[in-house]
Amino acid sequence: MLRSSLLFHAVALPYDMLTRHPVWERDCARMALELPAGARHVLDVGCGPGNSTLQLPPGAVGGDHALSMLRRARRRAPAAPLVCLDAAALPIRSSSLDAVTLHSVLYLLPDRAAALREAARVLRPGGRAVLLEPQAGPRATLFGLARALPSPRWAVTAALWRAMSKVYGRSSAESLWTALESAGLRMLRIEETLGGLGLLAIAEKP
Ligand SMILES: C[S@@+](CC[C@H](N)C(=O)[O-])C[C@H]1O[C@@H](n2cnc3c(N)ncnc32)[C@H](O)[C@@H]1O
């Protein structure tokens, strides 16, 4: 399978156009509400063109493997600190961050456990990992896409996101819960988002 970081390097422009949508942006903003109170040191892993980073507190760092994505993020958020990085080997001191966010990123990674271990390593005790992931199962596909239909442009984005996640793999609430706990994080909550297409998971470093 094509490594997702190479794929996203090639599709930065269409990805930016498709996800610059109020539904996606609202979801990114919802993720930001789950940061610990007063969070200042925040890393948005797999920031893409900056959709998710733009919703985080000022000073949040956007990190991505694809330079073309970082260039687009630079245009949208000229003041945001941006870093080229690999989610599986973060160039960051242990226990130094208040929060790590991965909005629609984990499912794309070849070694998800390594990325979650890295997120856990760089969080301070009480720091949070906040993730949006595509939800597994035909119910999520059926109801999620049906709910997207009234907004045709969002329906196209949602269908493409669904297709991508079919290729790379989706999570159930149980599997996401287990993966985060196996990385040494304590689960706080998992809930549905994006009309059931996605799962929002919030976990804390003990
Ligand atoms: C679906 S996009 C999500 C972008 C943004 N978070 C959003 O919500 O719109 C996934 C991003 O993860 C990045 N990515 C994929 N593999 C990565 C890796 N190993 N390390 C860092 N970023 C990676 C891709 O380049 C892409 O920009």
pLDDT number for residue 7: 82
Span 1-30, mean pLDDT? Answer: 86
pTM: predicted TM-score of the whole model, two decimal places:
0.96
pLDDT number for residue 5: 65
Question: Is the pLDDT score of 128 beyond 70?
Answer: yes
Span 5-18, mean pLDDT? Answer: 86
> Across-strand partners of 189?
202
Topology of the domain covering 4-204: Rossmann fold (3.40.50)
**Residue spans per domain, the chain:** 4-204
Supply the DSSP string of 110-148, one letter for each residue. S-HHHHHHHHHHHEEEEEEEEEEEEBPSHHHHHHHHHHH
Question: Is the pLDDT score of 86 beyond 60?
Answer: yes
- What is the whole-number distance in angstroms between the Cα of residue 47 and the centre of ligand 1? 6
Per-residue model confidence as pLDDT tens digits over 47-83: 999 999 999 999 999 999 999 999 999 999 999 999 9
Span 19-33, mean pLDDT? Answer: 95
Span 167-191, mean pLDDT? Answer: 98
- What is the whole-number distance in angstroms between the Cα of residue 23 and the centre of ligand 1? 18
What value does the mean pLDDT of the chain take?
A: 95
- What is the whole-number distance in angstroms between the Cα of residue 49 and the centre of ligand 1? 9
As for ligand 1, residues whose beta carbon falls within 6 Å of it are: 4-5, 8, 19, 28, 45-48, 51-52, 64-66, 69, 85-88, 103-105, 108-109
Residue 125 token pair? 């005790």
Question: Is the pLDDT score of 142 beyond 60?
Answer: yes
Question: Is the pLDDT score of 4 beyond 80?
Answer: no
Say how far apart CA 118 and CA 17 lie, in whole Å.
Answer: 30
Give every CB contact of residue 186 below 8 A, 6+ residues apart in sequence: 203, 204, 205, 206
Q: Which amino acid is at 41?
A: H
Per-residue model confidence as pLDDT tens digits over 131-140: 999 999 999 9
E strand residue ranges, the chain: 42-45, 61-64, 82-84, 97-103, 123-134, 186-193, 198-204
pLDDT number for residue 180: 98
Number of CB atoms found within 10 A of residue 159's CB: 16
Residue 91 token pair? 């160039």
Tell the burial category of 152 from Cβ atoms under 10 Å away from its Cβ (0-12, 13-18, 19+). exposed
2 pLDDT band (50/70/90 cuts)? Answer: low
Question: Is the pLDDT score of 1 beyond 60?
Answer: no
Question: Is the pLDDT score of 3 beyond 80?
Answer: no
pLDDT number for residue 187: 98
Number of CB atoms found within 10 A of residue 162's CB: 18
Pairwise pLDDT comparison (1 vs 143), residue with the higher score: 143
Say how far apart CA 76 and CA 20 lie, in whole Å.
Answer: 11
